Amino acid sequence: MHPLAEELNRTILEGNPHLHAMLSEMGKELFFPKGILSQSAEAKEKAYRFNATIGIALEKGRAMHLRCIHERLNGLEPNEVFPYAPAAGLPALRAKWQEKQFEENPSLAGKKPAKPIVTSALTHGLSIVADLFVDPGDPILLPDKFWGNYRLIFEVRKKARIVTYPLFAQNGGFHVKAFEEALARESARSEKILVVLNFPNNPCGYSVTPAEGQAIADLLVRTAQRGARIVAVLDDAYFGLTYMDGVLRESLFGFLLNRDDRLLAIKLDGATKEQFVWGFRVGFLTYGLGPGGDLEALYGALEKKSMGAIRGCLSNGPHLSQTLVLKALESPRYREEKRQKFELLKARALRVKEVLQNPDYSAVWSPYPFNSGYFMCLALKTVDAEALRVHLLERYGVGVIAASERDIRIAFSCIEEEDIPELFDLIYKGVLDLEKRRG
């Protein structure tokens, strides 16, 4: 093992041996090399005469660039967009995003998370988590309604074992009892469990109530206190997009942070959906440890291992995207413009709720509970989801996702409010067509 990895492992082992046991074999071996990047960072501070370290080109003290590109960037300085960004992201952006996290999550008050690390959006953040903490055969606890990409990230790439429990109870809320039973069963079989909690949920668009959120957090803490090591991953991709009353409006991250040394909370969020910049690929990974040990040293070690994972995969994220996200957060118009888009999405969600009251629909489908996010799902009663998906495309020019054998996912986020009744009417016609064809 590389001496730098051994040094980081000693820091983690001395500060929190449970955290060390959570690391995968790859996680133990990861480190951030003291090579070109670290030497260039040191030179940036001290090389006042000449800095001949980093592999970019300069011209008159600014990053060399093509005018035909720069003229399209509305006055941004060349050094704000063209050079490499640091492996962990622009320091100003990391600080500003953490400030935002504290503002929007009251449960973080008085607690000590790590500084957010910039990722190339949520998928990259999940891959870093998988690199650091997942070995073949490790259980990944998920609800039965989950984003399909989790299979590629954990099951295909890392050979982990996905374990599911029912997302919804009979009353339409989060199935706390099923979660408790799955957690107890897996903690009896494995010393380490990775739990992924995705609210608002993709594909169903469900967010937990405050009581459900507290129950989930308490179960995780109690399970850790009984001896299990838990990596709790909060996939907050759709954070803030909660439309109905009685819904928890903050992340569970603050409910889990600094609770127990056997419990590592990891918050994954980003500008992708929150700022409606899907193609920018700017996300954040924030670690939250238990109360024991030297948190600054432990977070520093995790950051360096994460930077090693980034360095060995894509080197660093795009500078331009990070600069634009930072500029948005600093803009006096940011909150108002974001509120306007939120209201637009909320109106679409409420319109879907209204349209689904049509009594004719109840014979052919049941909507899963939804209160947030971009999506909602229908449980089909009489036809196959894939057959319906294909028929809707070919007959009516309507696209939906076949999420399972009997479920279809509908992204109301991309449908104008006035078009929502027609959309569901066409889906209904499609179901009737298939029923007639079959019967």
pLDDT over 70 (residue 232): yes
Give the residue-averaged pLDDT of 252-272: 97
Q: Which fold has domain 335-438?
A: Aspartate Aminotransferase, domain 1 (3.90.1150)
- The residue assigned the tokens 């003291």 is 34
- What is the pTM for the complete model shown? 0.95
- 37 band by pLDDT with thresholds 50, 70 and 90: low
Q: pLDDT digit string (tens) for 269-315?
A: 999 999 999 999 999 999 999 999 999 999 999 999 999 999 999 98
pLDDT in tens, 381-420: 999 999 999 999 999 999 999 999 999 999 999 999 999 9
Q: Give the orientation angle of helix 210-225 with respect to helix 176-189, to 10 degrees.
A: 20
CB neighbour list of residue 210: distance below 8 Å, 6 or more residues apart: 246, 248
219 in Cβ contact with 180 (< 8 Å): yes
The DSSP secondary-structure symbol of 158 reads T
Predicted local confidence at residue 438, as pLDDT: 84
For the chain, domain boundaries: 3-32+87-330, 335-438
- CA 98, CA 400: separation in Å to the nearest integer? 36
Per-residue pLDDT tens digits for 194-206: 999 999 999 999 9
Tell whether domain 3-32+87-330 is in CATH 3.40.640.10: yes
Q: What is the C-alpha to C-alpha distance for residues 264 and 102, in angstroms, rounded to an integer?
A: 19
Termini Cα distance of the chain = 66
> Of 258, 143, 263, 271, nearest to 197 (Cα)?
143
Backbone angles phi, psi at 240, to 5 degrees: 90, -15
User: Could you tell me how far CA 229 lies from the centroid of its own chain?
Assistant: 21
Contact 125/284 with Cβ under 8 angstroms?
yes
φ/ψ (deg, to 5) at 174 = -65, 135
Is residue 428 over pLDDT 70?
yes
Write the pLDDT tens digit of every residue in 15-35.
999 999 999 999 999 999 987
3-state DSSP of 251-265: CCHHHHCCCCCCEEE
Which pLDDT score, from 0 to 100, does residue 21 have?
A: 98
List of residues 6+ apart from 88 with CB closer than 8 A: 94, 117, 118, 303, 306, 307, 310
Cα 288 → chain centroid:
15
